[in-house]
Structure 1
């Protein structure tokens, strides 16, 4: 078995025939659904952008929660430290 056959999983001619048949069937299904290759590309792009923006939105919410918590925790920490310093 040659390196090309090992890489492709079969002989190059058989792989080419399989790819042609599958491409034709996928083309038929996409045509019936009213999809174009651009719809698939734009859909993938929009999905990536949506995940990207959600990630930064989540990071922004994390920062908001951190600041709100710090407004309470940091002064409380200093008050507790000052009270324990006076006792010791």
Structure 2
């Protein structure tokens, strides 16, 4: 017997609880809904004259451009970090030395 959170006995469930948790419901039901959704989306994309491979190519170019631009951004942030560290770290070290010397 399976108990719900409130302690009341619940109905018996068939199948693996792990698969139900992963799929968010009955695996067969979820797969059936996904298949129906795929057909509907495919129909809409076909009516809009969009090619799935073209969408995939566009997404891959988008990811490639994002990675290339992020490298430039990281290089710029790293440069600002080093410029700031030249000023901030020595001041921080001096403040730590003066705090130790003051007996705190």
Structure 2 length normalisation: TM-score? 0.50
Residue 39 (str. 1) matches residue 39 (str. 2): no
Partner residue, 2:31: 16
- List structure 1 runs of 4+ shifted beyond 2 angstroms: 52-60
Q: Distance in 2 between matches of 1:13 and 1:39?
A: 31
Q: Distance in 2 between matches of 1:59 and 1:16?
A: 41
Query: Aligned Cα RMSD in Å?
Result: 2.4
Partner residue, 2:7: none
Q: Which of 17, 20, 25 does residue 5 from structure 1 map onto? A: 20
Q: Distance in 1 between matches of 2:18 and 2:74?
A: 47
Partner residue, 2:6: none
Q: Distance in 2 between matches of 1:3 and 1:20?
A: 22
Which stretches in structure 2 are left out of the alignment for 5+ residues?
Answer: 1-12, 81-104
Partner SS for 1:27: helix
Higher helix share: 1
Residue 52 (str. 1) matches residue 67 (str. 2): yes
Instruction: Give the length in aligned residue pairs.
Output: 65
The alpha carbon displacement at 1:36 in A equals 1.6
Structure 1 length normalisation: TM-score? 0.58
